[in-house]
Structure 1
Amino acid sequence: MVKPLDGKVALVAGASRGAGRGIAVELGAAGATVYVTGRSTRQRRSEYDRPETLEDTADLVTEAGGQGIAVPTDHLEPAQVKALVDRIDKEQGRLDVLVNDIWGAEKLFAWDAPVWEHDLDNGLRLLRLAVDTHAITSHYALPLLLRHPGGLVVEMTDGTADYNRDTYRVSFFYDLAKAAVLRMAFALGHELGPRGATAVAVTPGWMRSEIMLDVFGVTEDNWRDALDTVPHFAISETPRYVGRAVAALAADPDVARHNGTSLSSGGLAQVYGFTDLDGSRPDAWRYLVEIQDAGKPADTTGYR
């Protein structure tokens, strides 16, 4: 079988779990060599204290048909990021896809807490993890990505430019972080486009990450049990769905038409024709606007 990303090299920064892992695996399934980074390893857990590790992600990439390479990296440390990019350059001589999925702040924001009541240290730490890490990684990785024409940068966020513009997101710090990443893709589009590369922002929908499943007390096998208490969770999707979105972008020879825009897994499924693992095409952001935010009863008819 011909794989569209054979010979391509990707860096998924923030790939221990969630969207990063889903993206890394799908890039591997398309034939790419994928460097996966983060702070959770088999030897040492990050402050998340979660069981998922970089090595596990790398193994899944290889099992999917690519080559997974785990490189523990703290993306707040410029020297570590520089060493990572130097290693990719030495081993591969190129970088075709950069996915900035670093986040690490689920435990740092308080829902609906105004800025004056929110823990300040946690809020500032959230901004550093969500914004500084992306900027540091782009600073060091983009010269390598620009060495060959056609490179792709994907800024992972939560929400589209339209949705985030009109909707308050969780808290001052969370809202600011997610809006900043959207703006990064816009700015990078202006800087990369004239130099032969493309930058986009991509958001999953309501994603059944490992952490989300734990919050609802379910697994991927029985996730629908959560609908008894959270009916709108019916629109949710696996991390592999947004992974397929990114893989489709990376394989598109005309990807530059998306430069500087914000895209969603559900929207890209309509463009490229891929599905989630169960064969459905959930369109979560349209659902959230038209059903959940409109106060209508949960009904995914026409949305997946």
Structure 2
Amino acid sequence: MRTLIVGAGATGGAFGKRLIDAGRDITFLVRERRLAQLTANGLTFRDPSGESTTPVTAITSIATGTEPFDLILITVKAPALPAVIESIRPAVGPNTRILPILNGLNHIDRLSAAYPGQVLGGLAKIVATIDDSATVVQMTPLSSVTIGTLDGTEVDSKIVDNLSVNGLKLVVADNMLTRLWEKWAFIASAGVICCLFRANIGAILAAGGREAMEAAIAETERVAAAAGHPVSEQAHAMSTGMLLEEGSQFTSSLYRDLMAGDAAEAEHILGAMSERGRQLGVGTPLVDLTLIQIRAGGGSGI
């Protein structure tokens, strides 16, 4: 399969590296600056097992008349999505499948409106970043992607085969929308807890924050339940295990972005959760308070 990966950052770079190593046909769609880095130096990737550099094929635009790709992975952050929806259009044919790896759910609605019947659901579990030398750094062995159709039908076996490679655990879910809601509820509650109290989990618990933290978890899970996708007992246990662990140094990715002066996904994660709550008649007071704080601060961690 011809696969286009939109973005060669932490997630796109890590997944792309695994696919290239397995002999898959991979092209990256990136910005000019990233293209210059990849052209000059290749894709440098480091994980707990070591570091390597791989030549890659990368482009900054797709010409009209280009042969359609079979699979398009979208791995950029939410604010880039509107531009991506248009930029990939020449690469999309009638049999192309689009697999976005983004947080939340609004991107599914937008992509499905633009490309009806061609969008899959996807979520990633990976702890990765790009360092100052433009190296993609996977900090733990954890690297998995869960995919599934939005209507519960089977995923094309060619896509499953294409993504089944060493170093990347593939999970095929038959309840993908529920899985997406579960992750959204988790990252939204984690964002509320860390951004509202401006600390890691252990410090917030030590300061007496358990009751408020439990309320944040319950709040986002109520929205998921009202949407018809209640969080499973297993997913709830995972959330409480991570977000109520004494002494934990865990912080949410949204909080880390906020401290770096970039809260770009706050509206996609928390703003959209607040809006869904209003639409479903579910109050989200802690989400709303966190949004006010982030908006008033202009995305600054100060």
Task: Judge same fold: TM > 0.5, yes or no.
Answer: no
Q: Which has the larger radius of gyration?
A: 2
TM-score of the pair, normalised by structure 1: 0.28
Structure with the higher strand share, 1 or 2: 2
